[in-house]
Amino acid sequence: MILFNYVNDFSLQNEEVIANWITKVLEVEGYECDDVNYIFCDDEYLHELNVKYLNHDTLTDIISFDNSMEKKVAGDIFISTERVAENAKSFNVSFNEELSRVIIHGMLHFMGYKDKTEEESREMRTKENEAISLLNI
């Protein structure tokens, strides 16, 4: 089950469409969804998590806590909508496009994709693009 939670004044306008899209991406990759919580928040909230749990004193757009087991994804994905908005401006894309990329980025981590090296980042970007091509909004 995919749940969307909000700790700021943001809310998705199309939760069912997004949940169906995420499920479709999982199926294409050969995974099932167990329990995944998306938590949309602001920079301050995510920064506190970053410091407390990861010892990183920086702003970020996403933090994921993976509880997946084999081919069943599970966990919590925290997304700063403030950071997504800033990144969208920096990358000259729409907020919705950047948000879609970040939403699926967290799920790709749960499926084992990494982005620590340049090669891993390229593969992650390819997978993000493939996933976004499946989104019908």
- Residues belonging to the binding site for Zn(2+) are 105, 109, 115
Tokens describing residue 66: 């993976």
Residues in binding site = 105, 109, 115
- Separation CA 136–CA 22 (nearest Å): 11
Q: Looking at residue 43, what DSSP letter applies?
A: H
Alpha-carbon separation of residue 107 from 15, 44, 80, 89, 131 (angstroms): 16, 23, 16, 23, 10
